[in-house]
Amino acid sequence: MKLSELARQIDGVFTGDGAVDIRGVAGIREAGNGEVSFIANPRYAPEAATTKASAVIVAEDWAAACPATLIRVKNPDEAFAKAAAIFYIPAPVPVTGVHPSAVVAQDAELGAGVCIGPLCVIESGAKIGAGTVISAQCYIGFRSVIGDKSFLHPQVSLREFVKIGSRSIIHNGTVIGSDGFGYSVDGEGVRTKIPQIGIVEVGDDVEIGANVTIDRARFGTTKIGNGVKIDNLVQIAHNVVVGDHAVIVSQVGISGSTTIGSKTILAGQAGISGHLRIGSGVIIGPGAGVSKDIPDGLHVLGAPAMPVDKMKRTHANIMLLPKMRERIAALDARIRKLEEGGQSKV
Amino acid sequence: MKLSELARQIDGVFTGDGAVDIRGVAGIREAGNGEVSFIANPRYAPEAATTKASAVIVAEDWAAACPATLIRVKNPDEAFAKAAAIFYIPAPVPVTGVHPSAVVAQDAELGAGVCIGPLCVIESGAKIGAGTVISAQCYIGFRSVIGDKSFLHPQVSLREFVKIGSRSIIHNGTVIGSDGFGYSVDGEGVRTKIPQIGIVEVGDDVEIGANVTIDRARFGTTKIGNGVKIDNLVQIAHNVVVGDHAVIVSQVGISGSTTIGSKTILAGQAGISGHLRIGSGVIIGPGAGVSKDIPDGLHVLGAPAMPVDKMKRTHANIMLLPKMRERIAALDARIRKLEEGGQSKV
Amino acid sequence: MKLSELARQIDGVFTGDGAVDIRGVAGIREAGNGEVSFIANPRYAPEAATTKASAVIVAEDWAAACPATLIRVKNPDEAFAKAAAIFYIPAPVPVTGVHPSAVVAQDAELGAGVCIGPLCVIESGAKIGAGTVISAQCYIGFRSVIGDKSFLHPQVSLREFVKIGSRSIIHNGTVIGSDGFGYSVDGEGVRTKIPQIGIVEVGDDVEIGANVTIDRARFGTTKIGNGVKIDNLVQIAHNVVVGDHAVIVSQVGISGSTTIGSKTILAGQAGISGHLRIGSGVIIGPGAGVSKDIPDGLHVLGAPAMPVDKMKRTHANIMLLPKMRERIAALDARIRKLEEGGQSKV
């Protein structure tokens, strides 16, 4: 597509050669010849000077140097999203029906318009809601139930009795309903498995990333509320309850029986101990280690986690330690002088 | 089941309406109408006041308010386990034999009563012991050997020459025998793969969680002892040796060639450097970062990890920094006063 | 093989019984009867005294006690590698061609000598280069492209439009091209998925471990350079760019849109925030938490990460806190004495 045509479609004004052929979109650092990029976050503004993009979408008041042809727009973020959509070729819509290579139990219930991909296994008593897509090589366990219009990417595993709501998305390699990590231990330190006979229940409009693990409850239910968003490689232990619209970033671990309030955000690699009650609207910073309850609305950081103000002061205090040591040495010298002065008076 | 009948079966005494219909069990926070819950851990006692459970199993001396019908028992934890067992419908026992969709090498040896699930791949020379279950979509590599009565959940991958003992359980998505992360590096920082020609050997009565990775040895054996319990998303590198009955909680990472002693416990997200010797009966706290050997029986915390007493004192000292600064300022003021006093005397 | 013959083949000189039968290799700690081990790293030298190996390969100047027969060589590491190769039975070379159980789209393009293993799914428009092996149960998405002589181990998932270079290796359970974790959020904290319409591009000579997740870009490309080595359970978010020959150790997490320079090394469990620019030749220590740009060549440690010297001084300062408190108390006592002296003078 000619740059001039692209500019027209995204309501932008270009300065330079409108005849350049644009074939795709890319980030400002990696864009090359024939690609259009954008600057929305001021953080990336310095990158404009050295970009190899053929065109860059910028705000109307952009003033810095850039070797690429500029397309000025009201909202660079939105305009770039439009440009990306123009060049996007979607993957084909999955074909409705059961692929002949899938192994589907006779008594599984499949709703209207369901897609069961190649080499899936659907066990006895499973129910798949209308319009739901089970992509290739998934495993749906005994009496597991999925709502309508949900989408499982390839190689997802649901163990028995797992419930997934409607319009939920689960990415490749994720395991839901594996046994909780529960053992009784004898006097010799030898552990015996405690049967994990509960279930997992995932709400509506949930998205779960790739290679996530969510354990079934020891008894009762491990519960993921409606609208929750879970990133890749997250671990959610037995009997955890995650409130509606919570956000769990990648590699977070939540230990057994902890409750996470609604709309709470857990940043990447945070670790939460067991049996805690984390409030609603809480923000837990990246890599934080949480071993105590957190009330609603608090923002915590660090390991052990503490309120963000306290954490910042504490860190600042630590970084001032060299000065404190100097100050103590100076006091010492002044005292010595006083002491000597005193002695000299004697 | 009527509440009165449930109370009878768990040797409890109820106060209230025995005719209520109980249909299942749940945790105190998430239980709803028609469900029975329990309070065993005092941590959860305050939850009783607001529970939506129809019945709650409590200790005989329970005195706090609770809107639900109470069932008083000697041991609430055990009574609730009994109640859970009453309502539990187990998944069906896997069918003995080889599913026709599985791809099994002609020379694979299958013991008596083995179950090979749908769409499994069993490579040449593999041996599966009597009574072992290989669930759907597993991959058993060349000459891998599994003992008797072990259970592999769906989508487990064993690479070639992996040995698994008897009565061991492996959860979905776990990979055993992937190549160790080993490279030679030239002067330009370019890495060349070092062949990883060792194996992995997993003992008897081991349980390994979901999406775990255990690398094969560079040479020799990566070894997981008998009775070891490994949680989800754990990484065990090449040539690691884990002693009998050790416990490795989720998202722990153990680097190459480290030895973990028997009955040692690694809490969630701990990271252990390579070539270390961690003793027996050690406890490594959650998120700890270990870069030195640890003698038998020590309990360590923190990153860098240190003995738990020292860690707690260190943390307390850090939290006292604001007071130390105040104290230094006060000393400064007192010295100034002395200095001025001295000067005024002159 | 007789020990004497083994010694001959690795150019070693043995002292003791050359008739002992050696059947395999093992690490010094786990080696048993009939196995040969080695000591190359002085760290392991004390293990020689208690090894159960039948033979140990040591340097020519080895002087310490060892119950095993010693084989003295110039370079124990290299000699042991030779010994390991002697006893190594490789897994069979994958059979060229498409396994009849694989589900391969009619328009997929397969190069010469390609191997497509049992129960794979190859979607429409995929292209697999000459000599590439797709092992059992892999999923290759719509229009994904793999170069020549690459090797995918079982159960790898590539989503649509993923590009993999030549001579690259991907281990079991890894997911490439899952959606980035991107949402718009309304005033109520409810999140709506932002379409993730970019791709992932992996270079030549790359190795990616087991159960890794690499997300596709929101727009444009998540890019893994040539020669990059990625260990198990690593998370790479949308739009990350990893420079050539970078090394990413297990359980590292890299947040969205961050750039990692060439030959940079990220040690295990490090976490990198989003939108950062990490330079070339950087070393990020194990478990480090990085939230700021890092210039070329810097070695950082800790959370928050700081230059290694500064980190070590800071840690040393913290460990000196008890002494600082003693010193302050001593100053206090000396000031009190001066104060009392002053008062007594009045």
Residues 157-216 of chain C with CB under 8 A from chain B are: 169, 171-173, 207, 209-211
Q: Report CB contact under 8 Å: A233, B229.
A: no
Question: Which chains have at least 3 CB atom pairs separated by less than 8 Å from chain A?
Answer: B, C
Q: Give the integer Cα–Cα distance in Å for B159 and C91.
A: 9
Distance from CA of C25 to the nearest CA of B (A): 5
Q: Which chain A residues are closer than 8 Å to B245 by Cβ?
A: 189-191
User: Virtual CA dihedral for C320, C326, C327, C329, nearest 10 degrees?
Assistant: 150
pTM score, two decimals?
0.92
pLDDT tens string, chain C, 346 residues long: the values are 999 999 999 999 998 889 999 999 988 888 999 999 999 888 888 889 999 999 999 999 998 889 999 999 999 988 998 898 888 888 888 889 999 999 999 999 999 999 999 999 999 999 999 999 999 999 999 999 999 999 999 999 999 999 999 999 999 999 999 999 999 999 899 999 998 999 999 999 999 999 999 999 998 899 999 999 999 999 999 999 999 999 999 999 999 999 999 999 999 999 999 999 999 999 999 999 999 999 999 999 999 999 999 999 999 999 999 999 999 999 999 999 998 886 554 4
Which residue in the set B178, B181, B335 is minimally distant from C249, CB to CB? B181
- What digits encode the pLDDT tens for the residues A60-102? 999 888 999 999 999 998 999 889 888 888 888 888 999 999 9
Is the CB of residue B231 less than 8 Å away from at least one CB of chain A?
yes
Q: Report CB contact under 8 Å: C178, A209.
A: yes
Is the CB of residue B303 less than 8 Å away from at least one CB of chain C?
yes
Cα A332-A337-A339 angle, rounded to 5 deg: 90
Contact C208, C174 (CB under 8 A): yes
Is the CB of residue C342 less than 8 Å away from at least one CB of chain B?
yes
Helix, strand, coil shares, percent, chain C, to 5: 20, 30, 55
Distance from CA of B333 to the nearest CA of A (A): 10
Q: Give the integer Cα–Cα distance in Å for C10 and C58.
A: 12
Kindly list the distances between the CA atom of residue A89 and the CA atoms of A11, A92, B302, C39, in Å, as whole numbers in the listed order. Answer: 22, 9, 49, 57
Residue B87: what pLDDT? 87
Q: Report CB contact under 8 Å: A322, C327.
A: no
Among A27-41, B60-74, B203-217, B331-345, the least confident range: B331-345
Listed ranges B13-17, B207-211, B337-341, C185-189; the one with the highest mean pLDDT: B207-211
| Interstrand relation of C221-224 and A151-152 (parallel, antiparallel or unpaired) | unpaired
Token pair for residue C256? 């969205």
For chain C, how many helices (H) and strands (E)? Answer: 4, 38
Contact A270, A246 (CB under 8 A): no
Helix, strand, coil shares, percent, chain A, to 5: 20, 30, 55
Token pair for residue B143? 């000459």
- What digits encode the pLDDT tens for the residues B199-225? 999 999 999 999 999 999 998 899 999
Cα C273-C279-C280 angle, rounded to 5 deg: 130
**Predicted interface score ipTM higher than 0.95:** no
Q: Which chain A residues are closer than 8 Å to B92 by Cβ?
A: 124, 142
Is the CB of residue B70 less than 8 Å away from at least one CB of chain A?
no
Is the CB of residue A153 less than 8 Å away from at least one CB of chain C?
yes
- Closest Cα partner for B223 from B264, B181, B176, B279? B176
Q: Report CB contact under 8 Å: B250, A241.
A: no
Confidence band, pLDDT 50/70/90 cuts, at residue B81 = confident
Q: Give the integer Cα–Cα distance in Å for C245 and C251.
A: 18
Segment holding A27, helix H or strand E:
none
C238 is catalytic: yes
Q: Report CB contact under 8 Å: C220, A287.
A: no
Residue B208: what pLDDT? 98
Establish whether the linkage from the previous residue to B307 is cis, with ω within 30° of 0: no
Which residue in the set A30, A99, A250 is minimally distant from C253, CB to CB? A250
Q: Report CB contact under 8 Å: C322, B327.
A: no
Residue C219: what pLDDT? 86
Q: Which residue has the higher pLDDT, A47 or C99?
A: C99
Contacts of C30 by beta carbon, 8 Å cutoff, 6+ apart? B220, B221, B223, B241
Residue B346: what pLDDT? 41
Confidence band, pLDDT 50/70/90 cuts, at residue B241 = very high
Residue A254: what pLDDT? 98
- Closest Cα partner for B326 from C258, C325, A43, A19? C325
Segment holding B309, helix H or strand E:
helix B308-319
DSSP β-bridge partners for residue C307 = C300
- What digits encode the pLDDT tens for the residues A241-271? 999 999 999 999 999 999 999 999 999 999 9
pLDDT surpassing 80 at residue A323: yes
Token pair for residue C89? 């039975």
Residues 85-104 of chain A with CB under 8 A from chain C are: 85, 88-92, 99, 101
pLDDT surpassing 50 at residue A346: no
Which residue in the set B121, B191, B304 is minimally distant from C247, CB to CB? B191
Q: Domains along chain A?
A: 3-87 (3.40.1390.10), 156-304 (2.160.10.10)
Question: Which chains have at least 3 CB atom pairs separated by less than 8 Å from chain C?
Answer: A, B
Token pair for residue B327? 């104290």
Establish whether the linkage from the previous residue to A295 is cis, with ω within 30° of 0: no
Mutate one of C140, C156, C235 to test the A interface: name it (highest A CB count within 10 A).
C235
- What digits encode the pLDDT tens for the residues B112-154? 999 999 999 999 999 999 999 999 999 999 999 999 999 999 9
User: Virtual CA dihedral for B300, B209, A267, B287, nearest 10 degrees?
Assistant: 10
Residue C342: what pLDDT? 61
- Closest Cα partner for A235 from B29, B1, C321, B230? B230
Contact B231, B253 (CB under 8 A): no
Q: One of B99, B153, B171, B238 is an active-site residue; which one?
A: B238
Q: Give the integer Cα–Cα distance in Å for B22 and B57.
A: 13
Q: Report CB contact under 8 Å: B136, A124.
A: no
